[in-house]
Amino acid sequence: MTAKIYSDLAKVMRSVDHVSKGDFNSHQKFNFRGIDGVLNAVGPALREHNVIVFPHLVSADYEHVQTSGGKASTACRVVVDYIFASDDGSQVETRVAAESWDTGDKAMPKAMSVAFRTALIQALSLPTDEPDPDSFTYAREANDERRRLVAEKIEAAGTVDELRALWSQADHAQQSRITERVEALKGDS
């Protein structure tokens, strides 16, 4: 006999075809799917198909860290098992790891939100309803030109704010250069 949870999860997956990246991180300039957006899309389908989800915290680690702006923060890393259960008692479990930083007392709740969002996205295979990145091709020369232009902007930037604004455009090596320039500018003040 097949566990009912598998057919119930398949019904949930059919009910929720995607969750778009409707939230925007204005500090680091990217779109994302927040926990509220995912829960607003998935919650009704879980209830409709009698599937409950509950967490089991496997581990939590804390570390005192400092933001790039020098602010003291707490990093929290969690590993959580999420158990999806059907009304017949059948269950399936998924394990996720998540991390968050917070300057106040919210590092753990943020990490748990990230973990739950990740579990739902992965277990239910939720696409973003955005174009497939493989549908685009880019010429190498365009990337080299973009990189050259970003490098010029980094060297020309005269303030920490100008440098931070370039962060999302920069590749890893350029981000290291931005960090060096920020430290140099802070040292000059």
The mean pLDDT of 21-40, rounded to a whole number, is: 81
Between the alpha carbon of residue 90 and those of residues 14, 18, 55, 128, 147, the distances in Å are: 20, 26, 16, 29, 53
- CA dist 115 and 120 (Å) reads 9
The number of residues making up the chain comes to: 189
Identify the CATH number of the domain in which residue 81 sits: 3.30.390
Q: Residues 86-121: pLDDT tens digits?
A: 999 999 999 999 999 999 999 999 999 999 999 999
Determine the pLDDT at residue 139: 47
Q: Which residue do the tokens 């929290």 mark?
A: 76
Neighbours of 16 (CB within 10 A): 18
**Mean pLDDT across 40-67:** 94
Q: Mark whether 50 and 102 lie in a shared domain.
A: yes
pTM greater than 0.85:
no
pLDDT of 58 > 90? The answer is yes
CB 176 within 8 A of CB 166: no
Same domain, yes or no, for 71 and 22? yes
Q: Quick check: 70 pLDDT over 70? A: yes
Q: How far apart are the first and last CA of the chain?
A: 71
The pLDDT assigned to 128 comes to 75
Tell me which residue range forms the domain holding 65.
4-123
133 domain-assigned: no
Residue 78 lies in a domain: yes
- Is residue 39 located within the same domain as residue 109? yes
Is the same domain home to 34 and 68? yes
Q: What is the pLDDT of residues 158-188, one digit of tens each?
A: 888 888 888 878 887 888 888 888 888 877 7
pLDDT tens for 139-152 read: 444 567 888 888 88
Residue 6 belongs to what H/E stretch? helix 4-15
Handedness of CA 168, 111, 99, 5 (dihedral sign): negative
